[in-house]
Amino acid sequence: MNQAPVSPTATPATLPPRLAAMRSRIRAGEHRPLRVTDSIDLLGECEAEQLSWPLRVARLTRRMCEAQTVVIDHDERIAFTRTVKRVPEIYPPGTLKALLAGRTLHELGPISNLCADWGMVLGLGLSARRAVALASRRRLAADPAAVEFLDAAIETIDAVLALARRYAEAARQAGRADLAELLERVPAEPAASFHQALQSLRLCHAVLWLGGHYHCGLGRLDQYLWPYLEADLEAGRIDPAGAEELLAEFFISLNKDSDLYPGIQQGDNGQSLMLGGLRRDGGDGVNPLTTLVLRAAWAVALIDPKINLRVDRHTSLDLLALAVQLTRLGLGFPQWCNDEVVIPGLAAAGYALEDARDYTVAACWEFTIPGRGMEVVNIGAVSMPAAADRAIRAGLAAGEPFERILDRVAADLHDQVQVLATASRTLLLPPAPYYSVLMDGCLERGGDLSQGLVYNNFGIHGAASANAADALAAVKTLVYDQGRVAPARLLAALAGDFAGDEPLRLELRTEPPKVGNHDDGADALLVKLFDAFADACAAAGGNGRGGRFRAGSGSAMYYVWLASGHEGMREPAVGATADGRRRGEFFSSSLAPSPSTTVRGPLSVLQSFGKLDYRRICNGGPLTMELADSLFQGADAVAKVALFIRAFVKSGCQQLQLNTLNVDTLRDAQRHPDRHRNLVVRVWGWSGYFCELDATYQNQIIGRHVYGK
Amino acid sequence: MPDAMTGIVFDIRELTIHDGPGLRTTVFLKGCPLRCAWCHNPEGMTPAPQLLHSPVGDRWAGRRYTAPELAAILNRQAPLLTDGGVSFSGGEPLMQAAFLAAVLDRLEGLHVVLGTSGWAPEADFRRVAGRSDLVLFDLKLMDPEAHEAWTGVDNGPIQANLAVLASLGKPFIIRVPLVPGVTDTEPNLRAIARRVRALPEPPPVELLPYNLAAGGKYAACGLEWRPDYDEQARNQVNLQPFHELQLEVRVL
């Protein structure tokens, strides 16, 4: 067993003065004037040379690397600062449209929301990856597509190596022999120390973003970096405090360029990493680095990287308590993943057990396998409130029994999944030669990442499930079981957005069972919704890429879009619903009780959502709770929340996001943003600075139910 | 015990922090014989359900449960409470001792904490404390006249039940709410420390600093919050009297 190098909670983690100053400079944006280049012109040469798509993407990576101005900050020990703001186009808009010819791109286009095999990249180095590409090129010389792909991949490798060389030379000239030595070695060669591994990772990861990729996950950081640290510790090259400082600097560096990353909102960048959990061989993956990462994140206290922690019933309370310190800071992470639920779920979905044990989150919450998953984890979402609402209105109008309404819900979900599945079959993934270098098998077989990997599933989310279950429960209870509400009255009220029948709206809102109270009257309907949704995904068959459709429980922005309508949604906005919700009011986010429900408490919420069969909804999507910050004021509070995490494991829930917030603080932040610039909230799969969010989202966060009083 | 026996509960809260060890759900039983000037749960004073009026609407405080109903709610949570248990607070839970005992008899493997003022008939006290795993026993004021003046009741029964509790062999903790200028005075804390020291096996002591939100719920109960002490006065969190007598003491 490894000895923990530091006691997890012995002392609050703090930044040394050098890093405290660096953090302040970055938060103040002092590095932003270094961004001298707005955007480079690439289109001209791509057109003049009539480059193929793969070669255009490779050229993009190369030119972006070349256009970077080298920045060596005087006290930095991990280098790279992006200086080119925008990723340029590689096709004129008209040409791209013709190229797609009936196919569609996912979101912005470039491959996103994945996790590279960082352990492989750091362990081999890019020169070795280049040698693999050259060997494949010789072997596949007769295959022009393979040769073109491999040439493109080699061009990107050379671009990264040239960038590293320029950094090394500038470091020499600046009298920074230490940095120069690092960059003369990595990322070309295998990292030979913890410090080298972090530098290599920083550069290789940053170049992904330069090439237009986004939501680039960092994967199981404590697993793939531990061998380097372990060797350094044994050789006496570093001590735990030194390692913590390097990690903290690495984390600060991840916040430098994140304002340039694409996302719905600032902060929605998916720079996530995973800690702990089982190893591929089934052993416990928690190691001393797990602790150090948590401590470094505690000291840095910024929104990147977003920390995820895998837990099971054996996870020590010390480790949980340390992680809860991050929750207490109000960073919105760690996000907790229950190995006891996730691994069997992935195994049931066809993942090899070793791979299932190796899962991480792609970016927000969806599960993927580093280096082995070319999955599109959020191809779309079904609107559960729309399914329930259409079924209720049609069923009541036709005078049908309640069971028939449930049949209608299942058929509606089936239809919604079919529409998404059909649309997704036209999906076109653009070539990604550099990302291919970082994945398992692409260079070896001479085929681009966009052609697929071991796992090629698509994820569909079931959004706003609690509102849908509550609406069904209200109809079942008040109309069918008790006969208190006539169908015609409910139909009229729904059609008129409850105008003129406020008493009915209040009755619907307060009387029937609600999801979140461990009441089967509502929870059983939630279970039926997800069963029907999982059936629909299973019935959708293959996705045309060697994968299937995974059902999930996240909602991303859908909880707003489904309520108010959005061009990004196929489903129309839902009007007033039978749970007593007026038109336009938000739905629940991911897995959570409806925003208007007053629940008994967080344990009942765990028990409600613990009833779902997560083996059938393995795409991911967290149970989301806000804990009042007053909960953290007691002497034992951190230990109690650690026990709550253990209760989460026992409840059989899959994934948990805990926010800490104080409604008064949020209201004050709306009035006086200057006083709360660093106030962090987690909105869906990400944390963001509250003051930087649109007022709509600010109000939604404030309006969400606050657990504890 | 007949299943028809009912009790009135004004709140059930999960993940409570100050009501015993580990992960806990706390049941607040309605009704209290004391009228402590600093009471921060005024909706727990009267035994009957009451309608609270607040700017965001009206709400009933107090719901009637049968013992099997309440026990079933708690038992359903037992799988998640193995690192803690359930706590009973109030109000004064011993005001509904028969009901509470009936609930406790129906709990399945849950660790039980009783939080009490200690003011109850001895038989009731024995009946419930004997079915609990840990008792949080309040000592507010040692001087009988001051106790009567600030809480409305004589502290004789409390002192007698403390002696009973010490003889039961149950783990217990003494809790002292620190009210500025009322209970946090040096003479009172010294007297409490001496009393605890004199017990056969002195239990730990927990001090609860004053909560400035104490008056928050009075308006909703139709009551006026007008404490006869200076809330803003400095709260004396004085551990010295306990340390001097080698008592285990901590601040919550």
Cα distance between residue A108 and residue A72, in whole Å: 32
The token pair that represents B184 in the structure block: 């946090």
Residues of A in contact with B70 (CB under 8 A): none
DSSP-assigned states of every residue in B155-193:
SHHHHHHHHHHHHHT--EEEEEE--TTTTSSHHHHHHHH
Residues of B in contact with A601 (CB under 8 A): 12-15, 25
Contact B14 A635 (CB under 8 A): no
Question: In the predicted model, is pLDDT for residue A556 greater than 90?
Answer: no
Helix axes A465-474, A402-424, angle to 10 degrees: 160
What's the complex ipTM?
0.90
Domain that holds residue B163: 6-251
CATH number at residue B233: 3.20.20.70
* Per-residue model confidence as pLDDT tens digits over A567-583: 666 667 899 999 999 99
Cα distance between residue A322 and residue A326, in whole Å: 8
Question: In the predicted model, is pLDDT for residue A686 greater than 80?
Answer: no
Question: What pairing do the DSSP bridges indicate for beta strands B57-61 and B63-66?
Answer: unpaired
Residues of B in contact with A518 (CB under 8 A): 76-77
Instruction: Report yes or no: B83 at the A interface, CB cutoff 8 Å.
Output: yes
* Per-residue model confidence as pLDDT tens digits over B192-251: 999 999 999 999 999 998 877 677 778 888 888 889 999 889 999 999 999 999 999 999
Task: Read off the pLDDT band of A679 (50, 70, 90).
Answer: low
* Segments making up each domain of chain A, as ranges: 17-297, 376-616
Cα distance between residue A516 and residue A216, in whole Å: 33
Q: Is residue B143 part of a domain?
A: yes
Residues of chain B above pLDDT 90, percent = 79
pLDDT at res. A667: 80
Lowest-confidence region among A355-364, A621-630, B174-183: A621-630
- DSSP symbol at A338: E
pLDDT at res. A3: 37
Instruction: Report yes or no: B82 at the A interface, CB cutoff 8 Å.
Output: yes
Q: What distance, in Å, lies between the first and last C-alpha atoms of chain A?
A: 43
Closest CA to A107 of A368, A365, A371, A427: A427
Q: Is B118 helix (H, G, I), strand (E, B) or coil?
A: coil
* Per-residue model confidence as pLDDT tens digits over A174-202: 999 999 999 999 999 999 999 999 999 99
Helix residue ranges, H only, A238-361: 240-253, 288-300, 317-328, 339-348, 353-357
Q: Is residue B184 part of a domain?
A: yes
pLDDT at res. A704: 55
Amino acid at B235: N
Contact B17 A636 (CB under 8 A): yes
Contact A614, A654 (CB under 8 A): yes
DSSP-assigned states of every residue in A345-358:
HHHHTT--HHHHHT
B144 C-beta neighbours (distance < 10 Å), count:
13
The token pair that represents A688 in the structure block: 């963001």
Residues of B in contact with A635 (CB under 8 A): 250-252
Question: In the predicted model, is pLDDT for residue A8 greater than 60?
Answer: no
A203-to-A80, A210, A689, B141 alpha-carbon distances in Å: 7, 10, 26, 67
pLDDT at res. A159: 98
CA distance B123 to chain A (A): 33
Instruction: Report yes or no: B63 at the A interface, CB cutoff 8 Å.
Output: no
Residues of chain A above pLDDT 70, percent = 92
Contact A602 B14 (CB under 8 A): yes
Contact A137, A168 (CB under 8 A): no
Average per-residue pLDDT in chain A? 91
Instruction: Report yes or no: A637 at the B interface, CB cutoff 8 Å.
Output: yes
> Phi/psi at A368 (nearest 5 deg)?
-150, 170
* Per-residue model confidence as pLDDT tens digits over A307-353: 999 999 999 999 999 999 999 887 888 999 999 999 999 999 999 99
For an interface test with B, the pick among A643, A645, A662 (most B C-beta atoms closer than 10 Å) comes out as: A643
Average pLDDT over residues A645-660: 94
Task: Read off the pLDDT band of A481 (50, 70, 90).
Answer: very high
Average pLDDT over residues A115-119: 98
Instruction: Report yes or no: B57 at the A interface, CB cutoff 8 Å.
Output: no
Peptide bond into B91 cis (omega under 30): yes
Q: Is residue B1 part of a domain?
A: no
| Alpha-carbon torsion angle A139, A142, A146, A152, nearest 10 | 90
- Domains held by chain B: number: 1
- DSSP symbol at A329: T
Cα distance between residue A640 and residue A634, in whole Å: 9
A388 C-beta neighbours (distance < 10 Å), count:
32
* Per-residue model confidence as pLDDT tens digits over A376-397: 999 999 999 999 999 999 999 9
Contact B22 A635 (CB under 8 A): no
Cα distance between residue A687 and residue A685, in whole Å: 7
Looking at chain A, which residue has its C-alpha nearest residue B25? A603
Residues of B in contact with A600 (CB under 8 A): 12, 14
Give A663 or A215, the one with higher predicted confidence: A215
Question: In the predicted model, is pLDDT for residue A264 greater than 70?
Answer: no
Q: Is A55 helix (H, G, I), strand (E, B) or coil?
A: helix
Question: What pairing do the DSSP bridges indicate for beta strands B134-138 and B111-116?
Answer: parallel
The token pair that represents A84 in the structure block: 């080119």
Instruction: Report yes or no: A662 at the B interface, CB cutoff 8 Å.
Output: no
- DSSP symbol at A427: B
Name every residue whose Cβ is closer than 8 Å to that of residue A563 and which is 6 or more positions away in sequence. A464, A573, A574, A584, A585, A586, A587
pLDDT at res. A305: 95
CA distance B55 to chain A (A): 16
- DSSP symbol at A480: I
For an interface test with A, the pick among B80, B82, B87, B136 (most A C-beta atoms closer than 10 Å) comes out as: B80
pLDDT at res. A5: 40
pLDDT at res. A10: 52
- Degrees, nearest 5: CA angle A707-B31-B40: 50
Cα distance between residue A488 and residue A480, in whole Å: 13
Q: Is residue B233 part of a domain?
A: yes
Task: Read off the pLDDT band of A566 (50, 70, 90).
Answer: confident
Question: In the predicted model, is pLDDT for residue B2 greater than 70?
Answer: no
Helix axes A194-210, A221-235, angle to 10 degrees: 150
Instruction: Report yes or no: A320 at the B interface, CB cutoff 8 Å.
Output: no
Contact B17 A637 (CB under 8 A): yes
Contact A640 B12 (CB under 8 A): no
Question: In the predicted model, is pLDDT for residue A445 greater than 70?
Answer: yes
Question: In the predicted model, is pLDDT for residue B183 greater than 70?
Answer: yes
A504-to-A390, A475, A480, A507, A599 alpha-carbon distances in Å: 19, 12, 15, 5, 21
Return the HEC string of A23-52: HHHHHCCCCHHHCCEEECCCHHHHHHCCCC
* Per-residue model confidence as pLDDT tens digits over A197-236: 999 999 999 999 999 999 999 999 999 999 999 999 999 9
* Per-residue model confidence as pLDDT tens digits over A488-508: 999 999 999 999 999 999 999
Instruction: Report yes or no: A628 at the B interface, CB cutoff 8 Å.
Output: no
Contact A603 B251 (CB under 8 A): no
Residues of B in contact with A603 (CB under 8 A): 14-15, 23, 25, 77, 80-81
pLDDT at res. A375: 96
Closest CA to A452 of A358, A348, A547: A547
pLDDT at res. A700: 66
pLDDT at res. A617: 96
pLDDT at res. B129: 98
Average pLDDT over residues A153-157: 98
